[in-house]
Every structure is written in structure tokens, then in C-alpha cells.
């Protein structure tokens, strides 16, 4: 299984809502990533988990809260978002750590619209 899955595919939420994005992989990868991608722009790294510990936080606002419950799952909890947070949110995974191959595999993304 070489697939990264993300749910939901589309999400529309109001600025006062609380929602979560989910990501799952069963490749045995130990590094998982969240990226944000605005239209016609490259992906921007938000968070990196390595061996279920947060290793990189690219100064992301606290209204985005990542969680890694186990080595296969990655969540992104959303609260009090702004319309400018509307974007495609991409999850990725790789072997992670040490002199490993480190090819990143991406999921299909969640298209988020904040009203």
C-alpha cells in the first residue's frame, strides 16, 4: 500500500466552527507533514512530525493545531479560522530520520473553504 489518504475531500466551515482534517498512511513511514497550498502557489510547509513528535512548526497560527495519535495517523484541528485560510491542505509522509530514502508521498488534499 503506497497511498496517503485524506478526509474529507472538501470542507466548508464558518469562522466560529471547530473541525478536523485527517490523514492516514500504512507504509510504515515515521515522518508526516502538513502543507498549505493556495491557488497557483507552491505548497508551504506547516508542521512536521517525526516518530510521532512535532519536529517542525513553521510559525503557524495557533488556530491550527496538529496531532499525531500514532505513527499512521495525522490530524489537523481547526478553530476560529479566517477566510484567508481557505486553501488546499496537503498531507505527506516519508520514511523519516537517519540516512534513509526520504521520498515524500502526498495525499490528494482537503479543499477547505472558510466563510
User: Is residue 108 a contact point for other proteins (CB under 8 A)?
Assistant: yes
User: Distance (Å, rounded) from C-alpha 48 to C-alpha 70?
Assistant: 14
User: How far does the chain reach from its first CA to its final CA, in angstroms?
Assistant: 36
If the CB atoms of residues 80 and 88 are measured against other proteins, the closer one turns out to be: 88
If the CB atoms of residues 40 and 70 are measured against other proteins, the closer one turns out to be: 40
The number of angstroms, rounded, from the C-alpha of 4 to the middle of its chain's C-alpha atoms is 11
User: Distance (Å, rounded) from C-alpha 97 to C-alpha 111?
Assistant: 30
User: Distance (Å, rounded) from C-alpha 83 to C-alpha 78?
Assistant: 13
User: Distance (Å, rounded) from C-alpha 78 to C-alpha 4?
Assistant: 20
Each residue 5-34 as x (binds other proteins by CB under 8 A) or -, in order, gives -x------------------------x-x-
Q: Which window, 14-22, 68-76, 77-85, 104-112, contacts other proteins (CB under 8 A)?
A: 104-112
Contacts with other proteins, residue ranges (CB under 8 A): 4, 6, 31, 33, 41-45, 48, 50, 55-56, 88, 90, 92, 94, 96, 101-109, 111
Amino acid at each position: 500500500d503506497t497511498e496517503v489518504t485524506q478526509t474529507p475531500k472538501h470542507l466548508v466551515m464558518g469562522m466560529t466552527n471547530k473541525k478536523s482534517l485527517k490523514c492516514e498512511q500504512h507504509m510504515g513511514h515515521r515522518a508526516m507533514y502538513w502543507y498549505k497550498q493556495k491557488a497557483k502557489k507552491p505548497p508551504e510547509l506547516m508542521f512536521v512530525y517525526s516518530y510521532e513528535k512535532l519536529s517542525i512548526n513553521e510559525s503557524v497560527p495557533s488556530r491550527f493545531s496538529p496531532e499525531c495519535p500514532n505513527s499512521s495517523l495525522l490530524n489537523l484541528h481547526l478553530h476560529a479560522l479566517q477566510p484567508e485560510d481557505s486553501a488546499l491542505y496537503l498531507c505527506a509522509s516519508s520514511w523519516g530520520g537517519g540516512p534513509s530514502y526520504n521520498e515524500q508521498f502526498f495525499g490528494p488534499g482537503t479543499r477547505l473553504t472558510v466563510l
